[in-house]
């Protein structure tokens, strides 16, 4: 798989009731959480969630506008 070839590894923590616990990088997991929360905030914007703009320039403009407003608030 190309993901393994890139050196990508999972950073999702194991469940507490798992018999064999495996290690994961907690710092990277925290960064992943920040990115996921940002995508959830983008989904609050209907235009972005439904990809209303089919033109790439218009879509990226809407992303930039939404990111600016989200960051500002």
Predicted local confidence at residue 14, as pLDDT: 86
Confidence of residue 12 (pLDDT cuts 50, 70, 90): confident
What distance in Å separates the CA atoms of residue 68 and residue 33, rounded to the nearest whole number?
20
**How confident is the model at residue 26, as a pLDDT?**
86
Chain segment 17-60, per-residue pLDDT in tens = 989 888 888 888 888 888 888 888 888 888 888 888 788 898 88
User: Structure pTM?
Assistant: 0.56
Residue 25, pLDDT score = 84
Domain map (residue ranges) of the chain: 2-72
CA dist., res. 24 & res. 6, Å (int): 18
Torsion of CA 26, 73, 57, 38, to 10 degrees: 20
d(CA 66, CA 73): 11
C-alpha angle 10/21/2, rounded to 5°? Answer: 20
């Amino acid at each position: 798989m190309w993901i393994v070839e890139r050196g990508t590894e999972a950073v999702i923590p194991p469940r507490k009731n798992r018999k064999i616990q495996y290690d994961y990088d907690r710092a990277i997991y925290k960064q992943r959480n920040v990115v996921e929360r940002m995508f959830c905030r983008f989904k609050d914007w209907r235009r972005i969630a439904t990809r209303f703009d089919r033109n790439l320039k218009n879509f990226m403009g809407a992303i930039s506008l939404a990111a600016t407003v989200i960051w500002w608030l």
